[in-house]
Amino acid sequence: MNNFEFYNPTRIIFGKGTIPDIDSHIPENARVLMCYGGGSIKTNGVYEQVVSALGDRIFFEFGGIEPNPDYDTLIKAVEFGREEKVDFILAVGGGSVLDGSKLIAAGIPYTDGEVWEIVKGGKSAKIDQALPIGVVLTLPATGSEMNGNSVISRRASKEKYVWVSELVFPKFSVLDPTTTYSLPENQIRNGIVDAYVHVMEQYATYSVNAPLQDRQAESIFLTLQDIGPEALETPPDYEARANLMWTATNALNKLICKGVPEDWATHMIGHELTALYGLAHAESLAVVLPHLLWFQRERKAGKLMQYAHRVWGLAGDDESVIRQALAEMTAFFNHLGMPTKLTDYGIDPDEAANLIEAKFDKKGTKLGEHSDITPKDVADILRMSQ
């Protein structure tokens, strides 16, 4: 096992009827900026519950944070928050609202430079303070409710980066599974697939003798496979939604990646597909992952064989077992209604391959746990997605 640090101070408040509990965790005299997305919280009852829990506190609202939150939107919230001297950020929504709220929380006190510098700081974003953040999660998927990650897009310059800081771990996150009841089916499906791929990025690399982390990752695969179809059902089933919500959080609370290598190539390629063709994040992952894993079957043989044996109960130790396991995984995605080929979206794999190869070539991008997936390899992977 590699050396590591683990730190995750977010308080999770989980279950039906827990939104009122935010009252105990926000200072009485806070000036709160409530951040949200397209406004669905105003029609599904969540907004009323949050406002009621805030009681007599002074609060302001900033709505309209879009999927793949845009820097130009968020900077308006930063300016508004500074004007109103807010000192607590309450994010109500899914991963995009949470990621955006993290930048708002770090951006408001960041007055010595341009807020974009925080995003450009990447994995060691240089901030020395951030406003405290509370979360009411309404969409299980990204894990942002229990980590210090934030993915920010800047449409004006066609950029998209992840930045990370311990200072933007939420102080608390309320996970009430009933808030997911009004979600359309595709968002639940995206959440299941997103969580599954998060786990695969932390699992399917090479062994460093970390059997607990492997088994914890497999726990999440198996649980998602068990509960996924049920979680999609309408009318919604509380237990299935609860299990999905907690499982998606555990998929990216950074426990299973401790002491082991990580991949994230599927995410890097997926981000480009989202930028080029507007695929939802999870959709972009599902058209890359099976092909990338097959392409890398020799490099990842040990883990993929273990995945085949333990997660799909397959016997044997030749390449056909890996093929079969990836077919099972693909069938699981498809069974949820998630396409796994670019052609399913009418996208020409050759075109995608050429465009992304050219971009990665220009930037000298190499991907994967060994940094050995070249731009040409990426093109080959994308051409398999048909």
- Pick the closer one to a second copy by CB: 17 or 364: 17
CB of 239 to a second copy, least distance (A): 5
Tokens found for residue 27: 């200072």
Q: Which of 106, 127, 210, 367 binds a second copy (CB under 8 A)?
A: 210
Tokens found for residue 152: 């920010």
Tokens found for residue 239: 């237990």
Q: Which of 40, 202, 247, 306 binds a second copy (CB under 8 A)?
A: 247
Phi, psi (deg, nearest 5) at residue 99: -60, -45
CB of 380 to a second copy, least distance (A): 35
Q: Interacting stretch for a second copy, rule CB under 8 A, among 1-9, 91-99, 314-322, 338-346?
A: 1-9
Q: Which of 259, 309, 374, 383 binds a second copy (CB under 8 A)?
A: 259
Pick from 263, 262, 268: nearest CA to 378: 268
Q: Which of 222, 276, 301, 384 binds a second copy (CB under 8 A)?
A: 222
15 binds a second copy (CB under 8 A): yes
3 state SS of 229 = helix
Q: How far apart are CA 82 and CA 104, in angstroms?
A: 10
Q: Where are the beta strands (DSSP E) in 155-301?
A: 159-164, 172-175
5 binds a second copy (CB under 8 A): yes
CB of 249 to a second copy, least distance (A): 9
Structural contact between residues 91 and 101, judged by C-beta atoms closer than 8 angstroms: yes
Q: How far apart are CA 251 and CA 257, in angstroms?
A: 10
Q: Interacting stretch for a second copy, rule CB under 8 A, among 65-73, 79-87, 217-225, 276-284?
A: 217-225
339 binds a second copy (CB under 8 A): no
- Residues 164-203 as x/- pattern, contact with a second copy by CB under 8 A: ----------------------------------------
- Pick the closer one to a second copy by CB: 2 or 320: 2
CA 330 to chain CA mean position, Å: 20
Neighbours of 323 (CB within 10 A): 15
- Pick the closer one to a second copy by CB: 23 or 348: 23
Q: Which of 82, 158, 215, 376 binds a second copy (CB under 8 A)?
A: 215
- Biggest CA-to-CA distance, the chain: 65
Task: Report, in angstroms and rounded to the nearest whole number, the Rg of the chain calculated over CA atoms.
Answer: 21
289 binds a second copy (CB under 8 A): no
Structural contact between residues 78 and 50, judged by C-beta atoms closer than 8 angstroms: no
263 binds a second copy (CB under 8 A): no
**Number of residues forming the site for a second copy (CB under 8 A):** 40
Q: Which of 99, 218, 263, 357 binds a second copy (CB under 8 A)?
A: 218
The amino acid that residue 319 corresponds to is: E
Q: Which of 79, 128, 226, 351 binds a second copy (CB under 8 A)?
A: 226
CB of 9 to a second copy, least distance (A): 4
The helix or strand, by DSSP H or E, that contains position 318, with its residue range, turns out to be none
DSSP label at 23? G
Instruction: Determine the Cα angle at 226 with ends 263 and 187, to 5°.
Output: 70
- Pick the closer one to a second copy by CB: 244 or 275: 244
124 binds a second copy (CB under 8 A): no
* 159-164/149-154 β-pairing: antiparallel
Site residues, a second copy (CB under 8 A)? 1-18, 209-212, 215-216, 218-220, 222-223, 226-227, 239, 242-243, 246-247, 250, 255, 258-259
